[in-house]
Amino acid sequence: MPVADWNPDLYAAFRGLRMRPALDLLAQVPALPEGEVVDLGCGDGAAAGALRQRFPAARMTGVDTSAAMLAAAQGYDATTQTDIADWWPEAPPALIFSNAALHWLTGHDRLLPRLAGMLVPGGVLAVQMPRQFGAPSHARLREIAAAMFPDRFDFRDWTPPVAAPDHYWRLLSPLGTTQVWETEYLQHLPPGDAHPVRRFTKSTAMRPFVERLSPPETAAFLAAYDEALRADYPLAQDGATLFPFRRLFLVLRRPP
């Protein structure tokens, strides 16, 4: 997980593209029993409005580790600032909804069954996580960092934080009715002051790298990353590019 706090304005630059997976996940959440709706890793509250519209009578809580993001979040009945790896609800919720947050955490084989066990009977765990780590947008960050700064970056024993879909189905299906699927979104990124893919990853995947670099090191790192991205994601005449992005979804419903 990045050390420095998140930048809500930077993260919101691609809000439309980041919200579509949240809405696709929400569309697969069935009717809920009575109980609280928890937006786990809620960030700046991007999904709050859609959750409220879908479940208007439910009490809704946003949970996030970032004070800056929570300060920007609106639409919740309550918010809780805590490490979501350690979070525990005051009462069993009807829905734990987590969009693009749990991939920052390790130990999914323990974490996801623990979250499922928090639910009321008939409750739902709904999770979306990027599974983009083998794509050039993310792989180049690791490759360039390890080549330029081997004293700080060593990925020889690295494993992707998100497993294959069948792993999650085998993990969760004994706990309730389980759906697991993947979607690859073909995203059109507009031109800007840097390669569009770099602008997209700047607020997320790039953060743990630049946090460990000085300003001159960051400039050299970004120049190398931009060069690699131009080969991996060629620019159109107007400076835009197409950016395939893979995401994994899971929805588990506990037995009533």
CATH superfamily membership of 8-253: Vaccinia Virus protein VP39 (3.40.50.150)
Residue 253 half-sphere exposure toward CB, CA atoms < 13 A: 11
Question: Three-class SS string for the chain?
Answer: CCCCCCCHHHHHHHHHHHHHHHHHHHCCCCCCCCCCEEEECCCCCCCHHHHHHHCCCCCEEEEECCHHHHHHCCCCCEEEECCCCCCCCCCCCCEEEEECCHHHCCCHHHHHHHHHHCCCCCCEEEEEEECCCCCHHHHHHHHHHHHHCCCCCCCCCCCCCCCCHHHHHHHHHHHCEEEEEEEEEEEEECCCCCCHHHHHHCCCCCHHHHCCCCHHHHHHHHHHHHHHHHHHCCCCCCCCEEEEEEEEEEEEECCC
> In the prediction, which pLDDT does 148 show?
97
- Residue recorded with tokens 């919101």: 12
Contacts of 245 (CB under 8 A, 6+ apart): 17, 130, 132, 135, 137, 184, 185, 187
> In the prediction, which pLDDT does 23 show?
94
Domain ranges of the chain: 8-253
What is the reported pTM?
Answer: 0.91
Averages of pLDDT over runs of 10 residues in the chain (256 residues) are 46 65 96 97 93 96 93 93 93 97 95 98 98 97 97 94 97 98 96 92 91 96 96 96 97 97
Comparing CA positions, the residue from 146, 132, 249 lying closest to residue 201 is 132
> In the prediction, which pLDDT does 117 show?
97
- Residue recorded with tokens 């949240």: 22
